[in-house]
Amino acid sequence: HWSWEEGRAALTAAGRLVDTELAERRNLILFNPVEGNTYATVRTLIAAYQAILPGETARSHRHTPNALRFILEGEGSYTIVDGQRLEMRPNDVLLTPNWSWHGHGSEADGMCYWMDCLDAPLVHLLEPMFFEQHPDGFEPITSEPVSSPFIFRWEDVQADLDRTDPDPDGFHGRRVELGSPALASIALYMMRLSGEATRPRRTTANHVVCVAEGTGETTIDGQTFSWSRGDMMALPSWRPFTHRPDGDATLFVMTDEPVMRTFGWLREEAAG
Ligand code: GTQ
Ligand code: FE2
């Protein structure tokens, strides 16, 4: 479990100390301190908090890892994906699939914050790791579409959640998938819980969870963590977990389920 309060404070301090010329991205990696791990959050995925200052740009690049962002705070930042300028607003989800150009900018008054998730640890393991800087530094804008396959707007996701019934088995609450899957290696879900604990479950798929709304606690493999907006959790493969929201709560879930499914390794069961 990583606390947004701590992550935000560290990034705010980094805003005074590190610029995007030096760092490329001002990000804070959610390193999972388990034996043998060097940087990943779960085996296949890495998550990070990232911040951008008013007027700043973070130069464009592309890489073989697939990536996505979930916006935590601030209005006025944007990302340019393959020339498309996309506004980033709180709770929006933006995709940068494998090898698409992306750079970030901000015209906000204050600092803007989001979280990133990439399949870099999986790419690292398999070795097809490639990275390129954009020849222009910050990629020029060629269009400003109102909607794009690279973006899931919070209003649309909420409307989908409102139309969705709770899952009859009690594992997920009301749950919608963003994309099908959103990225070749990463599936995304928004889960809306309404006061009741989810039925304990385990799956071979690794999950990273970001709290979008509400408070509660989650027990993962016997350890219980309290959470509130912006906090992140690692639900590693085959460890049982259950979420207990205090009231209404919304969890944003990122998972390597497509990888497990593709290779015939996806197993799920009730756990307790
Ligand atoms: O925003 O392009 O957290 O390339 C890690 C690697 C963010 C990004 C991360 C990246 C990015
Ligand atoms: Fe990137």
pLDDT in tens, 204-247: 999 999 999 999 999 999 999 999 999 999 999 999 999 999 99
Nearest to 225 by CA among 196, 45, 69, 233: 233
If you measure from the C-alpha of residue 214 to the centroid of ligand 1, how many angstroms do you get, rounded to a whole number? 27
Question: In the chain, what percentage of residues exceed pLDDT 90?
Answer: 98
Q: What is the pLDDT of residue 225?
A: 98
The pLDDT of residue 85 is: 98
What one-character-per-residue DSSP string does 76-94 give?
SEEEEETTEEEEE-TT-EE
Q: Which atom of ligand 1 is nearest to the CA of 104?
A: 1
**CA of 263: how far to CAs of 70, 236, 258, in Å?**
28, 18, 9
Report CA(59)–ligand 2 centroid distance (Å). 9
Give alpha helix (H) positions in the chain. 4-17, 20-23, 120-126, 154-162, 257-262
CB 173 within 8 A of CB 109: no
Contact criterion met (CB below 8 Å) for 226 and 206: no
pLDDT at 272: 76
Atom of ligand 1 nearest to the CA of 27: 3
CA of 41 to the centre of ligand 1 (A): 14
Structure tokens of 223?
């350890």
Residues forming a β-bridge with 46: 118
For residue range 163-215, what is the model confidence (pLDDT) as tens digits?
Answer: 999 999 999 999 999 999 999 999 999 999 999 999 999 999 999 999 999 99
Both tokens assigned to 78: 């944007």
- If one counts every other C-beta atom within 10 angstroms of the C-beta of residue 176, the result is 20
Mean pLDDT of 52-67: 98
Ligand 1 site, residue 48, Cβ cutoff 6 A: yes
Q: Is the CB of 59 under 6 A from ligand 1?
A: no
- Measure 253 CA to ligand 2 centroid, in angstroms: 20
pLDDT value of residue 58: 98
Mean pLDDT over 33-55 rounds to 97
Instruction: Point out the ligand nearest to the CA of residue 105.
Output: 1
Question: For position 238, what pLDDT does the model report?
Answer: 98
Sheet holding 207-213, edge to edge: 174-178, 187-194, 248-255, 207-213, 232-235
Q: Which atom of ligand 1 is nearest to the CA of 79?
A: 1
